[in-house]
């Protein structure tokens, strides 16, 4: 929480903070111990739940032109300079790579006395699963001699904030779902040290901070509590977002001007009311509520993506007969003026319900709004077509991708906020195609690399304070590395991961059933898809041996790895991967292809069949070319096959393209059209009944509209050449623009008759490639060109 008076400067300086993350770090600080200390609060349990405030007042002779510092904390911090919030973090990592932010504080400093302050919190046992931790601590280090006067040490003061208690800790039980995002905040305003971050605050009763340890960076130290690494992504975006409408209210009438910030809302004394607010679209934000008076009043804020009725969620726009259930915060007013409640961590919601009870005096809610937050992606791609409904899919898909991107990629922002390889591969491609920003993808590749277990696999999700190994997701990490290799000319970055990729592939090699030439029994969680026929997402044969689906996913990854290792002149490994891939492809096809049904079986027993097995059979070429189109027609239209969900339809599209049937993609968009009809404003995890209403693996159309309909894909490593192979389907016109490392690629397509096309293509300087249409190929050069076929 902070004084509302500082909101405007925060908005104005947000961009400056974001760009400050590109500041270099003094090289001396990356080679040894820092002169600052990790500090903490004396006399408290350092691994338990607690919220703490740190302060230091210092004097400057003049306003500095620059004043660069490096800052971090465990679990998290929010930094203030002279009362203005300037930064929060650290970006989530692990103890081996504990990130620190680099900030130039000069814009907020002045000649004379200055105050720097930090709110630091530790969720203890209640922490989100995505939050790794050692113990409560804070560190701030000046970049050079001139900034060292504010280094953290015993001259800083600290106080424990006893206003906070965790709440909403039974979300999983109440929602009957896996939910691990951490607790809500229950705040008793009468115990809160209001104005603590302001220069005028009297901290005479605060304690001297306790020095805990000497900070040290990656590669140094002998007894590290945290090993510091420079933040490798920008600061998160934050911007004001007004709530759009009141859907229902009991106990009083809410004026429209209240939500617009133009009129306060007064709740009389001794009153109980409930107000259901509708953002009208799903969002991720820090809700901020400013209240006056109302001593003892209790305000509960509950957040939900959708309301729940007897038959589940139903249409997300409908509220009749439905109730609120979800994560919540509680604020108990102290009667003071302009008290600002803001939760310590972001909240996900479309619907926000206020349940308020007042006692002996009226409560005034001066304002209520959200501060939208997320990774600062900038949409640079454009897609249009003669089917205007595709724009709705594009817009909702992009919102989904944005809400699932913070300091890591999230599988879903409401329930987990965990970064899984299966989700992240698709999310990363969306980021590359829509924004051209590869920094979060690079961090994800590093995160999973750091997660590796002794067997050689990556963890299935990371950062995570609980161990979870999903072997097929380790394969997707290798595929994600291949994707980066194909889309970015950054060989030094890719090369560091090759040993890790070998470890994954070697694990699978050790599990080959040489008699069958398929994978044998495998441990851990062999998740493939939330298909109803796959218990807990695991296909037949994965645990007991001879799964065609996972064997062929291994083949698919081996094929990518062979190209990757060959490029880096590791020919023995590449040759070995090609040999294993060929042998497993042959063995799986012979054992699992069912000539009567015309598709791949899930196992050699030929007693269960899924779309997944044939999708992977086509993608790998295990199914001969002459059979691929008949098999894919079965995949699309044989409803006896267990079906791919939204997630695995990404691979269905790749298989259609591999079989020369990409033109059918447009006809396969019904699942996304159905979600829009059902009132979803982000794309869901699964078809209803679904847990999460926002799951980025379902946003794949934002990739496929450009990569499939417009047909833009890399034709050489580093995207040094491009292939444009449009798949219009029934569309008469489509156009797309996407960022490339050398500039924008622009494609405009118009149907001419039944089989012809008129294409206008613009490539950035230095980029060449080929345009493919039906059986014709035309060379492409830099600049603008027109092709008529």
Whether 400 shows a pLDDT value over 80: the answer reads yes
The average confidence (pLDDT) of the chain is 96
Q: How confident is the model at residue 10 (pLDDT cuts 50, 70, 90)?
A: very low
Q: What is the DSSP letter of 308?
A: B
Overall size of the chain counted in residues = 789
What lies within 8 Å, CB to CB, of 316 at 6+ separation is 305, 306, 350, 678, 679, 680, 681, 693
The answer to whether 607 and 552 have CB atoms below 8 angstroms apart is no
Of 94, 178, 179, 170, the closest CA to residue 131 belongs to 94
Residues facing residue 422 across a β-bridge: none
Decide if pLDDT at 5 tops 50: no
**Same domain membership, residue 201 and residue 79:** yes
Q: Could you tell me the pLDDT band of residue 17, with boundaries at 50, 70 and 90?
A: very low
Q: Do residues 29 and 157 both lie within one domain?
A: yes
Residue 675 CA, chain-centre distance (Å), reads 21
User: Does 506 fall in a domain?
Assistant: no
Residue 779 shares a structural domain with residue 648: no
High-pLDDT (> 90) share of the chain, %: 96
pLDDT category of residue 20 using cuts at 50, 70 and 90: very low
Query: Alpha carbon 703 to chain centroid distance?
Result: 16
Alpha helices for 531-684 (secondary structure H): 548-567, 571-592, 611-620, 625-637, 649-658, 670-677
We report the CATH number of the domain holding residue 757 as 2.60.420.10
Together in a domain, 230 and 256: no
- With respect to residue 389, please indicate whether it lies within any of the assigned structural domains: no
Given this model, what pLDDT does residue 1 score?
A: 60
Q: Give the tens place of pLDDT for each residue, 465-523.
A: 999 999 999 999 999 999 999 999 999 999 999 999 999 999 999 999 999 999 999 99
Q: In this structure, is residue 35 part of a structural domain?
A: yes
Predicted confidence (pLDDT) at residue 18 exceeds the cutoff of 90: no
Predicted confidence band at 32 (pLDDT cuts at 50, 70, 90)? confident
Q: Which residue has the tokens 């504990």?
A: 98
Sheet holding 157-160, edge to edge: 84-89, 76-81, 112-122, 50-60, 157-160, 207-208
Together in a domain, 647 and 567: yes
* 671/612 Cα distance (integer angstroms): 17
Peptide bond into 148 cis (omega under 30): no
Among 324, 358, 374, the domain boundary falls at: 374
Task: Specify the number of domains making up the chain.
Answer: 4
Which pLDDT band, with edges at 50, 70 and 90, does 289 fall under?
A: very high
Residue 685 near residue 675, CB atoms below 8 Å = no
Q: Is the pLDDT of residue 626 over 50?
A: yes
537-572, pLDDT tens digit by residue?
A: 999 999 999 999 999 999 999 999 999 999 999 999
Instruction: Judge if 33 and 133 occupy the same domain.
Output: yes
* Cα distance between residue 38 and residue 150, in whole Å: 13
CATH code of the domain in which 56 resides: 2.60.120.260
Confidence of residue 22 (pLDDT cuts 50, 70, 90): confident
- Do 357 and 228 share a domain, yes or no? no
Give CA–CA dist 394/414, Å, rounded. Answer: 21
663 and 729 share a domain? no
- pTM to 2 decimals? 0.96
Residue where one domain finishes, among candidates 374, 402, 424: 374
Angle at 530 between CA 174 and CA 712, to 5 degrees: 120
In a domain, 682, yes or no: no
* 554 occurs within a structural domain: yes
- Structural domain boundaries, residue 733: 710-789
Q: Are 728 and 664 a contacting pair, CB within 8 Å?
A: no
**CATH number for position 530:** 1.50.10.10
Q: Which of 644, 668, 692 is the last residue of a domain?
A: 668
664 and 722 housed in the same domain: no
Query: What pLDDT is recorded for position 628?
Result: 98
pLDDT at residue 98, rounded to an integer: 98
Are 246 and 326 in a shared domain? yes
Mean pLDDT value across residues 32-51: 96
Partners of 213 in beta bridges: 38
Stretch 397-401: mean pLDDT: 98
pLDDT tens, 120-145? 999 999 999 999 999 999 999 999 99
pLDDT digits (tens, 9 = 90+) for 581-625: 999 999 999 999 999 999 999 999 999 999 999 999 999 999 999
């Amino acid at each position: 929480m902070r004084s509302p008076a500082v909101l405007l400067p925060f908005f104005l300086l947000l961009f400056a903070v974001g760009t400050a993350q590109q500041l270099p770090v003094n090289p001396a600080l990356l080679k040894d111990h820092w002169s600052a200390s990790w500090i903490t609060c004396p006399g408290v349990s350092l691994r338990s739940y607690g919220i703490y405030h740190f302060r230091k007042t210092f004097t400057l002779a003049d306003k500095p032109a620059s004043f660069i510092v490096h800052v971090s904390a465990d679990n998290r911090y929010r930094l203030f300079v002279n009362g203005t919030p300037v930064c929060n973090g650290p970006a989530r990592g692990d103890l081996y790579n504990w990130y620190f932010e680099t900030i130039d504080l000069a814009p907020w400093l002045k000649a004379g006395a200055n105050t720097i302050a930090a709110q630091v919190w530790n969720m203890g046992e209640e922490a989100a699963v995505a939050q790794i931790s050692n113990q409560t601590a804070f560190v701030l280090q000046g970049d050079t001699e001139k900034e060292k006067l504010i280094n953290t040490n015993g001259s800083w003061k600290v106080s424990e904030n006893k206003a906070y208690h965790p709440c909403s800790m039974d979300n999983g039980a109440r929602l009957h779902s896996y939910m691990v995002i951490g607790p809500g905040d229950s705040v008793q305003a009468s115990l809160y040290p209001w104005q603590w971050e302001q220069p005028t605050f009297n901290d005479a009763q605060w304690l001297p901070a306790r020095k805990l340890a000497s900070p040290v960076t990656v590669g140094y130290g002998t007894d590290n509590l945290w090993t510091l690494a420079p933040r490798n992504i920008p600061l998160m975006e934050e911007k004001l977002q007004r709530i759009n409408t009141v859907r229902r209210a009991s106990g009083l009438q809410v004026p429209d001007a209240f939500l617009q910030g133009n009129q306060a809302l007064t709740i009389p004394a001794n009153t109980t009311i409930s107000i259901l607010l509708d953002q009208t679209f799903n969002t991720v934000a820090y809700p901020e509520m400013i209240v006056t008076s109302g001593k003892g009043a209790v305000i509960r804020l509950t957040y939900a993506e959708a309301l729940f009725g007897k038959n589940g969620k139903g249409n997300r726009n409908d509220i009749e007969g439905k109730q609120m259930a979800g994560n919540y915060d509680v604020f108990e007013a102290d009667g003071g003026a302009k008290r600002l409640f803001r939760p310590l961590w972001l909240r996900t919601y479309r619907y926000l319900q206020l349940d308020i009870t007042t006692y002996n005096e009226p409560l005034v809610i001066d304002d209520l709004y959200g501060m939208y937050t997320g990774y600062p992606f900038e949409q640079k791609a454009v897609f249009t077509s003669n089917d205007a409904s595709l724009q709705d899919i594009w817009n909702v898909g992009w919102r989904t991708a944005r809400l699932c991107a913070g300091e890591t990629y999230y599988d879903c922002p409401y329930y987990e906020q965990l970064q899984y390889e299966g989700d992240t591969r698709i999310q990363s491609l969306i980021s590359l195609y829509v924004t051209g920003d590869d920094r979060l993808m690079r961090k994800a590749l590093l995160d999973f690399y750091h997660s590796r277990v002794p067997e050689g696999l990556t963890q299935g999700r990371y950062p995570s304070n609980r161990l979870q190994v999903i072997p097929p997701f380790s394969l997707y990490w290798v595929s994600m590395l291949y994707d980066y290799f194909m889309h970015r000319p950054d060989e030094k970055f890719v090369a560091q991961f090759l040993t890790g990729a070998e470890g994954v592939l070697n694990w699978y090699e050790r599990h080959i059933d040489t008699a069958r030439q398929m994978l044998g029994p495998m441990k851990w969680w062999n998740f493939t898809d939330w298909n109803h026929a796959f218990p807990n997402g695991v296909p037949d044969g994965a645990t007991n041996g001879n799964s065609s689906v996972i064997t062929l996913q291994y083949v698919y990854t081996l094929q990518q790895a062979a190209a990757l290792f060959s490029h880096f002149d590791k020919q023995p490994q590449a040759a070995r991967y090609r040999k294993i891939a060929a042998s497993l492809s042959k063995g799986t096809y012979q054992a699992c292809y069912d000539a009567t049904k015309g598709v791949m079986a899930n196992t050699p027993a030929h007693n269960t069949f899924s779309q997944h097995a044939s999708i992977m059979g086509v993608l790998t070429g295990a199914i001969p070319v002459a059979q691929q189109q008949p098999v894919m027609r079965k995949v699309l239209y044989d409803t006896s096959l267990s079906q791919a969900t939204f997630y695995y339809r990404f691979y269905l599209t790749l298989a259609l393209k591999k079989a020369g049937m990409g033109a059918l993609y447009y006809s396969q968009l019904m699942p996304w059209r159905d979600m829009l009809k059902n009132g979803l404003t982000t794309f869901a995890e699964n078809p209803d009944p679904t847990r999460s209403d926002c799951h980025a693996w379902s946003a794949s159309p934002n990739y496929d509209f450009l990569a499939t309909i417009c047909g833009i894909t890399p034709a050489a490593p580093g995207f040094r050449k491009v292939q444009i192979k449009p798949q219009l389907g029934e569309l008469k016109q489509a156009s797309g623009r996407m960022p490339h490392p050398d500039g924008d690629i622009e494609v405009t397509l118009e149907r001419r008759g039944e089989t012809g096309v008129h294409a206008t293509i613009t490539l950035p300087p230095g980029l060449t490639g080929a345009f493919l249409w039906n059986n014709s190929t035309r060379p492409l050069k830099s600049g603008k060109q027109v092709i008529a076929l």
